[in-house]
Chain A
Amino acid sequence: MTSEFRRNATSALQQDDVQTNLNRVVHKLREHRQAAWIAADEWRQLRRHCQAIRENAVRKLPQLLEQLETNLIRNGIQVHWAETAEQANHVVLSIMQRHDAKLIIKGKSMVSEEIALNHFLMQHGIQALETDLGEFIIQLAGEKPAHIIVPALHKNRRQIAELLHRHFPGYAYTEDVDELAQLARKILRDHFQFARVGLTGVNFMIAESGTLCLVENEGNGRMCSTIPPVHIAVTGIEKVVEKLSDIPPLLSILTRSATGQPITTYFNMISAPRQPGEKDGPREVHVVLLDNGRSTSYRDRELAATLRCIRCAACINHCPVYQHIGGHAYGTVIPGPIGSILEPQQRGLDRYGELTQASTLCGACTEVCPVGIPIADILNRLRWDATRQDADCSTPGAGSGYIPAQTALWKLWAWQCTHPGAYRLSTRLATRLRVVLPGYFDAWTNVRTMPKLAKTTLHERLKALGIDHE
């Protein structure tokens, strides 16, 4: 993992077009978000409110999940639980097989990426077709999403035009964004009509009413959840909220934080499959509730804050590291600051612990997070977990980053900082030995000059200036 992440990051930094495309989109997203908050007070109040809603929901997670399950079942929605990605995939597969379906049309779902559903279904002879425009583009390119809201942000219109033309040479080449969108409409329309199973993610679930809420602009999510006879929604267990009145503030802060829109085109609230007397809508609605490590985060008070996330991507859009290396470099399902705290918790510090270092701890993520997740603190906490040797830590892969020499060095440093005599001696020694220090230091000095130590220590200079008691 170590070298892979660094290799990815380095190669991303060398790709000028990726840099330009990323910069353009990230800056637009930031501007749009900024423009959506006219009054700073309103933002602060709404954030406080939303943070409390999500914190409350996370605290009551077990009760709310039970309440949600009862109400979903009462409404005629079938509930499936999955502890692992594999279990979730099998749930989807068995539904597909029961309906003898060879094609599944998909609305945007990061959880389906998390469980690598498309790949799994393909191995079982089932085609999964992405229908969100960005996801559709990414699927054609054989890539993974580079962003959780704008999956194809690293591609410009020319690249997208060429890609579509290569796959669908029957349509005239165009770089016009409207025409490209119309092209996708034409290509996908028949699939919407004929697919037997549609799959979507979920943005919120309401426990008190047993309702699934989907946020989208394109209408493909509505297509996938309305037209086929079977709708499957896959979601993490943390997406539940207590009541309907929790929804308006969360929706408002989600869309404004994500793209600056006051609301998306569609907010789709599904509480039941087709009812007697209703003419359309799916005959079966299934919900797959996925744990996949979430209940482990829940055990730890500090890390449980991660479960508040509403996947708005504001932290990603404001991250200087993401802005430079892009989404693919992370090698994870979810990139950026949220990915760097989430993925190590879910998939282990041994595999993804290095991501906690992919931050300058500037705190921009924490500042923009609409549910007040202290991302920078959690990054720090996970850095500690990675090197901890005690048994009190439930984070998977804890202690895997332990390097005895590094720990010894820090201990020595801590010791000398608390012992003035030793401190004076070591700093004096360092200044005297400055000439023998190397003029280069790994990749750091490829693009920077090596800092030079001063001839004398600060203490000595202050003393020489006659300033007493530093």
Chain B
Amino acid sequence: MNNARDNILKRLHDYRISEEIPADSDYASHHDWNTEERIKRFSDRMKAVHAEILNATADSWLNELASICSRKNLRNLLLSPHSQWGKQIAAQAERFPPLKYFSQPFEAWKNELFTDVDAAFTGAYAGIADTGTLIIQPSPDEPRSWSLVPPVHIAILEQHRICTTFTEAVARGSIESPLPSNLLLISGPSKSTDIEQTLAYGIHGPQALIVILV
């Protein structure tokens, strides 16, 4: 295969065009939103793609979470008892459906995740107002598959972490550098428009996305 590499690169280098095109710098964000506008825009966009937004405070969010668990009849809730938010939930475990946590590698709990987990709870690293997007950074505590496999994904996001645009999030360093092994932008529950361009929600990923804003 090394031959393929060298051949391809040689062909490209032989005809390489050296001068650079400077990217147009006149493209900037057209929005100048304050915090409130950002929150509003974020929530509106999220709702437009069938995500649920729960507004809460640092004191009330546990109540909101408890009530969503009972409203959705969740039989269990997957979360990390080590995370900033997970700790608080674990401390009041009796208010919630049975809590689950996996400390082993994936292979030990893959089957349970696919067949027996009703909802996963994760933190969100940041948000994007313009598109209604969560920036999720999976970690050893909150692995990649949590925001994908269970039918319900509940994410908590601090209002002050909502940026205006993705461009701004990159420019302001709201995205960790170097990039983590997996970084996800999530905008709503999974959906498809492959049949007659008609929206159907909840295909392979979560059928419901609930965002708690604090």
Q: Is A173 an interface residue (CB 8 A)?
A: no
Interface flags for A364-381 (1: CB within 8 Å of B; 0: not) read: 000000000000000000
Residues in B neighbouring A264, C-beta threshold 8 A: 187
Q: How large is the interface on B (under 10, 10 to 19, 20 to 34, 35 or more residues)?
A: 35 or more
The SS class assigned to the B binding surface is loop
Closest partner residue, chain A, to B185 (CB atom): A267
| Chain B min CB distance to A311 (Å) | 16
Interface centre among A259, A278, A280 (most CB of B within 10 A): A280
| Chain A min CB distance to B171 (Å) | 7
Contact call A279/B106, Cβ cutoff below 8 A: yes
Closest partner residue, chain A, to B190 (CB atom): A219
Stretch from A148-156, A331-339, A342-350, A407-415 forming part of the interface with B: A148-156
Contact call A24/B30, Cβ cutoff below 8 A: no
Contact call A265/B189, Cβ cutoff below 8 A: yes
Q: Is A251 an interface residue (CB 8 A)?
A: yes
Residues in A neighbouring B98, C-beta threshold 8 A: none
Q: Quick one: which of B131-178 are within 8 Å of A by CB? A: 131-133, 138-140, 143-145, 148-149, 165-167, 169-171, 175, 177-178
Residues in A neighbouring B201, C-beta threshold 8 A: 178, 181
Stretch from A81-89, A120-128, A395-403 forming part of the interface with B: A81-89
Q: Is B91 an interface residue (CB 8 A)?
A: no
Q: A279 is contacted by which of B27, B143, B170 (Cβ under 8 Å)? A: B143
Residues in A neighbouring B23, C-beta threshold 8 A: 49, 52-53, 56, 246
Interface flags for A211-251 (1: CB within 8 Å of B; 0: not) read: 10000011110110011000000000100000011111101
Contact call A59/B20, Cβ cutoff below 8 A: yes
Interface flags for A45-65 (1: CB within 8 Å of B; 0: not) read: 110110011011001111101
Closest partner residue, chain B, to A211 (CB atom): B179
Contact call A193/B111, Cβ cutoff below 8 A: yes
Q: Is B196 an interface residue (CB 8 A)?
A: yes
Interface flags for A264-306 (1: CB within 8 Å of B; 0: not) read: 1111111111110111110000000101000110110100100
Q: Is A385 an interface residue (CB 8 A)?
A: no
Q: B1 is contacted by which of A81, A181, A206, A274 (Cβ under 8 Å)? A: A81
Given the known interface contacts A52-B23, A80-B1, A280-B144, the answer about A181 and B181 at a Cβ–Cβ threshold of 8 Å is: no
Q: A150 is contacted by which of B7, B145, B183, B193 (Cβ under 8 Å)? A: B193
Given the known interface contacts A157-B195, A248-B165, A263-B185, the answer about A298 and B11 at a Cβ–Cβ threshold of 8 Å is: yes
Interface flags for B4-24 (1: CB within 8 Å of A; 0: not) read: 110111011111111111111
| Chain B min CB distance to A296 (Å) | 8
Contact call A25/B170, Cβ cutoff below 8 A: no
Given the known interface contacts A49-B27, A281-B143, the answer about A62 and B196 at a Cβ–Cβ threshold of 8 Å is: no
Q: Is B192 an interface residue (CB 8 A)?
A: yes
Q: A281 is contacted by which of B165, B182, B200 (Cβ under 8 Å)? A: B182
Contact call B145/A152, Cβ cutoff below 8 A: no
Q: Is A39 an interface residue (CB 8 A)?
A: yes
Residues in A neighbouring B59, C-beta threshold 8 A: none
Of the A-B pairs whose beta carbons lie under 8 Å apart in the complex, a sample of 30, sorted by A's number, is: A28-B197, A42-B30, A52-B22, A62-B16, A81-B2, A81-B8, A132-B194, A133-B195, A156-B196, A160-B195, A193-B111, A209-B179, A218-B190, A219-B148, A222-B148, A223-B148, A237-B8, A245-B170, A252-B131, A263-B185, A265-B205, A266-B185, A266-B205, A267-B185, A269-B179, A271-B182, A274-B181, A278-B181, A281-B106, A281-B138
Instruction: List B residues at the A interface (Cβ < 8 Å).
Output: 1-2, 4-5, 7-9, 11-24, 26-27, 30, 45, 49, 102, 104-106, 110-111, 114, 128, 130-133, 138-140, 143-145, 148-149, 165-167, 169-171, 175, 177-206
